Amino acid sequence: MTVQSADAPAPALCHIVTPIGMLGYGVDVKQVDAALEKFTATGEPTALILDSGSTDSGPQKLALGGMTVPRGSYVRDLQKLVASARKFNVPLLLSSAGGSGTNYNTREIVKIIDEVAHRNPTGKFKVVALYADMDKEFARERLHAGVVTPCSSAPPLAEADIDESVVIFCAFAEYCYQKLNLGEQLDKYTRRGTFTHVGEILECGGLCAEPKGGGVIATIRLDGSFEITPMAPNATCTPVSVAAHTLYENTRPDTLFGPGGHIDLSNSQYELLEDRRTVRVRGSRYVYTKETKGIYQIKLEAAKLAGYRAMYVGAHKDPVLIGQMEKFLATVKGYVKMEHADVAEPWELEWHIIGKGDNGNVPQEVGLIGESLAPTQELATSIVAKAKVATIHAPYRGLKATSGNFAHGIGGLYTVPLGPCAEFCIYHLVELKEGEERGGIDAPLFRFETFEVGEEPMETNGTSAAAASEEPAPEVDDEKKKKIAAMKKQVRVLNADPLTSLSDDPTLGELATVIRSKNSGPYEITFDVMFDRESIYQAVKKSDILNTEAVARLFGIPIEHVIYSGFFDQARAYKVTTARLRNGKRVPAGGYMEDDVHGSQMYLPLLRKKLPEGLKNEVQKILDRTIFVQ
């Protein structure tokens, strides 16, 4: 529901500045400092908070110990953020440190903060690291006790999953709420619901704004409401853009799950304020599973090593071959099997085919990526090496270009060893015993460690070492300023042309403002279709062209793989969530033969869905009335 009100806001409880949706993606320090200067001047609690991790990019970080971005990217962002936090004396909070939040990643981020603190001295300060790796015996004991259940569409947990996992990480929150010491004036349902809802929005930075990107700030008020404002001067938040973010990466829009319960957003309200770029949100309520089910659950995440991968890359341009790709690749695989007939270990070989063409049209060029999976790197590389030989030289019906079938040589490599292949194996909820959710120095599950870092600054001619080491900002001439302003203006009006008429054969893509797909955890894909006009949204909703059965037919999947389907009026949106499938089987994101780890390019069937004649006529009437009024 979108509301507009002239009521005076309640007093502020605290302010949160989120510079970007992911640590390491880059920070506009001028915008950060401007926001911190404004909020700290009020004397009200203020913090810098941003996310640093996600399962979106696959299981590699959990299984192999890497981080989301190169180490240097973390260094650059933390140099700015630590300096701003110290300058304005506000806390800096990072969630899912280093990409996964495991103890290894958390310690690595602590090291970087320590390096930054010594490189640009601003005095000594404390860093608190929260650890949440789980012992395998803990998971095994709870599995045997029958208190482990799949999260989202994950399969039931097997003991082999625990044995093969590299590290088991736990998503937790209770200790953070213990230390918050804010909002105690609110009832516990509003307090937890408000802070959790704010976190759900801020963790993606300015994705809730138009145009998306950059940072965002939030003010939480004593009545449980909160306000969201984008940091970029050319961006705006709208009730629909903020409400729509509750759909993002979630199975359903009205119920968002977390440790110990979920947020109920079925009665949430979104109000555009007078500045036309800030949105006030009300009605976020938390439901505690201790009260509804008598249990407290947390989520466990883990990945295992599934083998080693290798690949080769190139393209086919012969239309005769492109017309018989399936048969040709079967010939290639047959040759590889023959060459490895003496190998007893199991191995796999498949292809990513890019640019197949639609409606029977033969494309001028098809990209081909062969990918292998085997128990050793040597075998995986051997498989793609033999496959590439056959791809270049295997015969096919109608062959004329006898010198070779395959354009290759990209990057100067014949084959590309890819190293270990990771695969999600644990994405499950586990019940805790009374008191286990609480953290501390000697807590049984969630413990913390405190470090003192930094050193006192050295004065150089009256200037601090940190300031002396800063490079002067480059001069920007007037002509360049004009170009930047013009670019910002252009960005703001992208996709702003109003719909005035339909094509002869209209699709859902013509009506919708947003059609997108994204992971909802490693085992699901969720799709959102949003409309900017209430009248068109209601016409689509009434037409019943979007429902469980229609989506199953559209994507060619069994109806049991459709997990959720429904409309969310607050965002003028339809949402549907399905299991993540490959060749008809449920699979987690990021493993062997993954070609869209974010799931962000799976929405095309919805975009191309044809409108029935009745809906087409109804929408055209709406458009005609709009033109007449204008």
Give yes or no for residue 201 having a pLDDT over 70: yes
Residue 231: name the closest of 11, 23, 36, 514 by CA: 36
Give yes or no for residue 495 having a pLDDT over 50: no
Query: pLDDT by residue (tens digit) across 41-62?
Result: 999 999 999 999 888 889 999 9
Half-sphere exposure of 614 (CA within 13 A, CB side): 7
Residues 63, 430: Cα–Cα separation, whole Å: 20
> pLDDT confidence of 629, banded at 50, 70, 90?
very low
User: DSSP H helical segments within 120-156, as ranges?
Assistant: 136-144
Q: Which of 112-126, 228-242, 348-362, 553-567 has the lowest mean pLDDT?
A: 348-362
Burial of 96-134, coded b for 16+ CB within 10 Å and e otherwise, reads bbbbbbbbbbbebbbebbeebbeebbbeebebebbbbbb
Looking at residues 274-300, what average pLDDT do you find?
93
Residues 458, 453: Cα–Cα separation, whole Å: 16
pLDDT score of 309: 98
Query: pLDDT by residue (tens digit) across 72-84?
Result: 999 999 999 999 9
Q: What angle (nearest 5°) sits at the alpha carbon of residue 299, between those of residues 293 and 305?
A: 145
541 in Cβ contact with 75 (< 8 Å) = no
Preceding peptide of 558 cis, ω within 30°: no
**Left if phi > 0, otherwise alpha if psi is -120 to 50, otherwise beta: which for 174?**
alpha
Neighbours of 287 (CB within 10 A): 16
What sign does the CA torsion over 596, 601, 603, 605 have? negative
pLDDT score of 257: 86
Q: Which of 171-175, 216-220, 392-396 has the lowest mean pLDDT?
A: 171-175
Residue with tokens 């399962």: 55
Q: What angle (nearest 5°) sits at the alpha carbon of residue 63, between those of residues 561 and 250?
A: 35
DSSP 456: P
**Left if phi > 0, otherwise alpha if psi is -120 to 50, otherwise beta: which for 99?**
left
259 in Cβ contact with 297 (< 8 Å) = yes
Give yes or no for residue 148 having a pLDDT over 50: yes
Residue with tokens 């909070």: 93
Give yes or no for residue 467 having a pLDDT over 70: no
593 in Cβ contact with 536 (< 8 Å) = no
Residues 56, 249: Cα–Cα separation, whole Å: 9
Residue 319: name the closest of 287, 260, 365 by CA: 365
Q: Which of 90-94, 160-164, 363-367, 564-568 has the lowest mean pLDDT?
A: 363-367
User: DSSP H helical segments within 264-376, as ranges?
Assistant: 289-292, 319-322, 325-339
Q: Which CATH number fits domain 306-422: 1.10.8, 3.30.1380, 3.40.50, 3.30.70?
A: 3.30.70
Rounded to a whole number, what is the distance in angstroms from the first to the last CA of the chain? 26
CATH 3.30.70 region(s) of the chain? 306-422
Residues 565, 342: Cα–Cα separation, whole Å: 50
Identify which has the larger pLDDT, 434 or 580: 580
Give yes or no for residue 248 having a pLDDT over 90: no
Residues 493, 549: Cα–Cα separation, whole Å: 36
Residues 337, 560: Cα–Cα separation, whole Å: 36
pLDDT score of 447: 83
Tell me the C-alpha to C-alpha distance, in Å, between residue 38 and each of 16, 217, 288: 12, 11, 36
Residues 479, 281: Cα–Cα separation, whole Å: 41
Give yes or no for residue 476 having a pLDDT over 90: no
Residues 365, 389: Cα–Cα separation, whole Å: 20
Q: What's phi and psi for 568, nearest 5 deg?
A: -130, 100
Residue with tokens 């939480």: 220
Structure tokens at 149: 């259940």
Q: Are strands 12-18 and 46-51 parallel, antiparallel or unpaired?
A: parallel
Q: Rg for the chain (alpha carbons), in Å?
A: 27
pLDDT score of 493: 35
117 in Cβ contact with 453 (< 8 Å) = yes
Give yes or no for residue 2 having a pLDDT over 60: no
Give me the residues paired with residue 201 across strands: none
* Helices (H) then strands (E): counts for the chain: 20, 28
Query: pLDDT by residue (tens digit) across 98-144?
Result: 888 999 999 999 999 999 999 988 889 999 998 889 999 999 999 99
Residues 285, 266: Cα–Cα separation, whole Å: 9
pLDDT score of 122: 86
Residues in CB range of 472: below 8 A, 6 or more apart: none
Looking at residues 253-260, what average pLDDT do you find?
86
> pLDDT confidence of 627, banded at 50, 70, 90?
low
pTM here is 0.85
DSSP per position, 387-453: HHHHHHH---TT---TT-S-EE-GGG-SSEEEEEEEEEEEEEEEEEPTTTT--BTT-SS-EEEEEEE
540 in Cβ contact with 511 (< 8 Å) = yes
27 in Cβ contact with 50 (< 8 Å) = no
pLDDT score of 143: 97
Residues 620, 626: Cα–Cα separation, whole Å: 10
Residues 500, 626: Cα–Cα separation, whole Å: 8
Residue type, 617: N
Kindly state the percentage of the chain with pLDDT values over 90: 71
Looking at residues 312-336, what average pLDDT do you find?
95
Give yes or no for residue 577 having a pLDDT over 70: yes
Residues in CB range of 544: below 8 A, 6 or more apart: 550
User: DSSP H helical segments within 120-238, as ranges?
Assistant: 136-144, 159-164, 174-180, 188-202
What's the whole-number average pLDDT of the chain? 88
Kindly state the percentage of the chain with pLDDT values over 70: 88
Structure tokens at 455: 């050193």
pLDDT score of 191: 87
Residue type, 487: M
Half-sphere exposure of 562 (CA within 13 A, CB side): 20
Query: pLDDT by residue (tens digit) across 498-513?
Result: 688 899 999 999 999 9
Looking at residues 347-373, what average pLDDT do you find?
88
Query: pLDDT by residue (tens digit) across 406-458?
Result: 999 988 989 999 999 999 999 999 999 888 887 666 667 888 889 999 887 76
pLDDT score of 496: 44
Query: pLDDT by residue (tens digit) across 348-357?
Result: 999 999 997 6
Give yes or no for residue 214 having a pLDDT over 60: yes
Give yes or no for residue 330 having a pLDDT over 50: yes
